[in-house]
Amino acid sequence: MKRDLVSMLELTDDLPQILDLASNLKNIQTANERHEPLKDKSLAMIFEKPSTRTRVSFEVGMTQLGGHALYLSTSDLQLGRGETIADTAKVLSRYVDAIMYRGFEHSKTVELARGATVPVLNGLDDLEHPCQIVADLFTIMEKKEDLSGLKLAYLGDGNNVCNSLLLGCAMSSMNISAACPEGYYPDSGILRTAKEIGEENNVSVDVIKSPENAVSDADVIYTDVWVSMGDEAEKAVRLEVFAPYQVNEELVSRAKDDCLVMHCLPAHRGEEITNGVIDGDRSVVFDQAENRLHAQKAILVHLIG
């Protein structure tokens, strides 16, 4: 049966295996060895929103694995002229071995996965960004060796990245404390599920208001933009509401001395993170960006290899 990656939850059983595979694939790539387990396989990538990292890392990843990726913008597809998601899913499934989709409503990602007979990967929607979080956990594992028992502090908007992080941390036995302003909390259903998983794994999953309390004793500080794709009309209000959640030198000094600073990028320097922090010695954001490539290669090999 085909396997999808629409939500982090679909990795409940095999996340450790995927993280190990990402590490092996990174070593193979670093040694410049040819390794083509996806020879002659094709990945269709549908984008309804812009992308730098997701687009390039998936395309380069498929090439390195011996396969091929097609970039499809919704405005170029018949999908943009009213062809249904279900029909698009059925047709693409006759040509390619997997479909990556970056869109708005999570329900559309789910619909695409339901209609497709090949694996569907969520390349970000308004609810989740699982491929990002697999790369993030891989990055933390590289830097800290063992994930279990660590504390991650997420600062800012309870958005797609925050939702998937709540699940990913709880699944990896990491404590997570998300500091978000009222009205910008993560999805309540996801939070409930993450708390249940956290309880089973003996770690805490909390959403609080105070950024200072969140970063206290943190091993990792993570932030994301205050204005996600699709939220542009709320920009002025958001910049004001989120101002106290900026990851700056003062806030970072309250965490552990060896605390990592992460950001999924693109960063809005001077808003959610200062230049001093993102370019500082705690920041691992560019390793994190590189790891999108290795982590997604692992996801692709795991799902279609």
d(CA 158, CA 242): 11
Buried-exposed string 145-177: b where 16+ CB fall within 10 A, e elsewhere: eebeebbbbbbbbbbbbbbbbbbbbbbbbbbbb
Binding segment toward ligand CP, per CB under 6 A, in 51-59, 77-85, 196-204, 212-220: 51-59
Closer residue to ligand CP, CB minimum distance, 197 or 284 = 284
160 lies in the site for ligand NVA, by CB under 6 A: yes
Active site residue 254: no
264, 288, 294, 296: the catalytic one is 264
**Rounded to the nearest 5°, which phi and psi values hold at 279?**
-100, 5
Q: Which residues pair with 208 in a beta bridge?
A: 179
Active site residue 192: no
42 lies in the site for ligand NVA, by CB under 6 A: no
53, 129, 263, 294: the catalytic one is 129
Buried-exposed string 249-265: b where 16+ CB fall within 10 A, e elsewhere: eebbebbbeebbbbbbb
Closer residue to ligand NVA, CB minimum distance, 93 or 288 = 288
Q: Which of 93, 122, 132, 172 binds ligand CP (CB under 6 A)?
A: 132
Contact between 3 and 119 (Cβ < 8 Å): yes
228 lies in the site for ligand NVA, by CB under 6 A: yes
Compute, in degrees rounded to 10, the torsion defined by CA atoms 265, 19, 4, 93.
90
Contact between 133 and 8 (Cβ < 8 Å): yes
Q: Which residues pair with 273 in a beta bridge?
A: 247, 269
Residues 6+ apart with CB under 8 A from 91: none
Active site residue 292: yes
At closest approach, how far in Å is the CB of 225 from ligand CP?
A: 10
Active site residue 102: yes
228, interface contact from ligand NVA, ligand CP, none, CB < 5-8 Å by kind: ligand NVA
264 lies in the site for ligand CP, by CB under 6 A: yes
106, 126, 132, 238: the catalytic one is 132
List contacts with ligand NVA (CB under 6 A): 124, 159-161, 224-225, 228-229, 264
Q: Which residues are catalytic?
A: 102, 129, 132, 224, 264, 292
List contacts with ligand CP (CB under 6 A): 51-54, 124, 132, 264-266
